[in-house]
């Protein structure tokens, strides 16, 4: 099937130039007989004088989130200033998000089976094919990639099939395991959350009893959010996901200081919990991001450790539960789709041998305390790419790219420049 392009739109946002590209591409790249198409949108961001700099394509975390929108000086997101000093930045909305034929509640009119089948074509391997179509459209022989979290997973899929298209790769919190099962990953993530829970309670011991009371209150249906969700104990405990970010402990502290009968608590709790209705894909096929030839079958729920079952004050992170398809209003319409995808046998997406032979160059930030992408498995993957230099640090958590000069550090590493 032929890839087609809409006319390019150029505009200025203060000191930035944005070129907006929309390609129409196959939904199913692997089957030429399948005529279904989707749109893929990308914005190429540059500064005056930087119109001929090499491309850096940003692959967003998630899965299920669009790229950030570039704003004026100081550039936003926070890392964009660092990137624009060296590159033109390609902000691609991964298929199913933003302006790339987004997946929204309206798609459910097609029926659960059809929607589930559609979503199976939105994974990292298909995103790579979209990127390749965009690279060719832009006339680039090769380009650079910045992969944050799930975007790093997608970069590994890129190296598995099209490494020749990549000059340098930059990965932040996204060196996924290539060989472990989802059960392995989520079990280790529970270990990380156990450590973070105890670290938090050492600092704020009085909050342990407050958390216990909140979970008990949730168990009797005593916490209702503004959207009508009656918060379950497992949802209440998921606020621990905030501990995976640099300043997330402050979010948690402020929440646990509030009176649960107040509007402030109810709204802050809504905002603190991971997974929501704005990006349904993040919940609906989150576990598939760790499936490399596996069906997930509610992996995080199945490997819940005994001490987590007994001690309700232990926080959880990106551990989803099947009951949320019944208790969370935003997820209820997606129940049948989510159940179907949990049973789907996801194909193999990474090729360790190809990655080892790729000659990949670049740099990666590996966060020692990462509660979402365990350092142990990241180092296993990094061993296959000796020319991707590692910055192993406890200075940042999983959101380090958005919190400090992480990208500049990686660019310096990749180009053998003195670290400032």
Which pLDDT score, from 0 to 100, does residue 75 have?
59
Residue 212 has pLDDT above 60, yes or no: yes
Across the range 95-101, mean pLDDT stands at 97
* φ, ψ of residue 106 in degrees (nearest 5): -60, -25
72 shares its domain with 19: yes
pTM above 0.85, yes or no: yes
Name the maximum alpha-carbon separation found in the chain: 62
Are 78 and 292 in contact, with CB atoms under 8 Å apart?
no
Residue 322 has pLDDT above 60, yes or no: yes
- Structure tokens belonging to residue 174: 């996204």
Specify the CATH number for the domain of residue 70. Answer: 3.40.50.1820
**Is 282 a member of any domain?**
yes
Single out the residue in 328, 343, 358 at which a domain terminates: 343
Residue with tokens 């660019």, as numbered in its chain: 411
What's the rounded Cα separation, in Å, for the pair 95 and 100?
5
312 shares its domain with 372: no
Which pLDDT score, from 0 to 100, does residue 2 have?
85
157 shares its domain with 265: no
User: For the stretch 105-123, what's the b/e string if a residue is b when 16 or more beta carbons lie within 10 angstroms of its beta carbon?
Assistant: eebbeeebeebbbbbbbbb
Q: Which domain holds residue 100?
A: 4-178+350-414
143 shares its domain with 215: no
CA distances from 334 to 101, 127, 276, 293 (A): 18, 23, 12, 24
Residue 404 has pLDDT above 90, yes or no: no
Single out the residue in 313, 343, 373 at which a domain terminates: 343
Query: Helix, strand, coil % (nearest 5) of the chain?
Result: 40, 15, 40
Across the range 190-209, mean pLDDT stands at 98
136 shares its domain with 199: no
Q: What separation, in Å, do the N-terminal and C-terminal C-alpha atoms of the chain show? A: 48
311 shares its domain with 329: yes
Please, which residues bridge with residue 47 across strands?
Answer: 16
């Amino acid at each position: 099937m032929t890839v087609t392009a809409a006319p390019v739109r150029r505009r200025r946002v203060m000191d930035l130039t944005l070129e907006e590209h929309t390609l129409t591409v196959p939904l199913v790249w692997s089957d030429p007989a399948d005529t279904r198409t989707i749109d893929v949108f990308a914005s190429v961001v540059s500064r005056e004088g930087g119109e001929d700099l090499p491309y850096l394509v940003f692959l967003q975390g998630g899965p299920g989130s669009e790229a950030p929108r570039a704003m004026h000086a100081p550039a936003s997101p926070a890392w964009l200033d660092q990137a624009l000093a060296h590159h033109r930045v390609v902000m691609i909305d991964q298929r199913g998000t933003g302006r790339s034929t987004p997946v929204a509640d309206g798609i459910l009119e097609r029926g659960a089976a059809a929607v589930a089948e559609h979503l199976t074509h939105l994974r990292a391997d298909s995103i790579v094919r979209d990127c390749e179509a965009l690279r060719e459209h832009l006339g680039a022989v090769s380009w650079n990639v910045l992969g944050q979290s799930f975007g790093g997973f997608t970069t590994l899929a890129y190296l598995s099939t099209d490494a020749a298209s990549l000059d340098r790769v930059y990965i932040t919190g996204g060196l996924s395991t290539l060989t472990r099962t989802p059960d392995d990953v989520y079990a280790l993530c529970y270990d990380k959350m156990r450590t973070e829970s105890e670290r938090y309670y050492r600092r704020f011991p009085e909050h342990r009893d407050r958390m216990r009371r909140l979970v008990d209150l949730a168990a009797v249906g005593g916490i209702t959010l503004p959207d009508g969700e009656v918060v379950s104990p497992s949802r209440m405990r998921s606020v621990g996901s905030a501990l995976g970010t640099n300043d997330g402990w402050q979010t948690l502290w402020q929440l646990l200081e509030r009176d649960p009968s107040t509007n402030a608590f109810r709204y802050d709790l809504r905002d603190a919990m991971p997974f929501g209705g704005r990006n349904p894909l993040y919940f609906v096929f989150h576990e598939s991001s760790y499936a490399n030839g596996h069906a997930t079958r509610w992996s995080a729920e199945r490997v819940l450790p005994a001490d987590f079952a007994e001690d309700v004050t232990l926080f959880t992170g990106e551990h989803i539960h099947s009951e949320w398809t019944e208790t969370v209003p935003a997820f209820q319409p997606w129940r049948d789709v989510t159940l179907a995808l949990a049973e789907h046998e996801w194909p193999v997406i990474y090729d360790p041998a190809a990655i080892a032979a790729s000659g990949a160059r670049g740099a990666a930030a590996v966060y020692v305390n990462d509660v979402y992408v365990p350092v142990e498995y990241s180092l296993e993957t990094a061993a296959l790419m000796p020319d991707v230099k590692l910055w192993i640090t406890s200075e940042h958590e999983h959101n380090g790219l958005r919190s400090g000069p992480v990208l500049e550090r990686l660019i310096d590493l990749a180009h053998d420049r003195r670290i400032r």
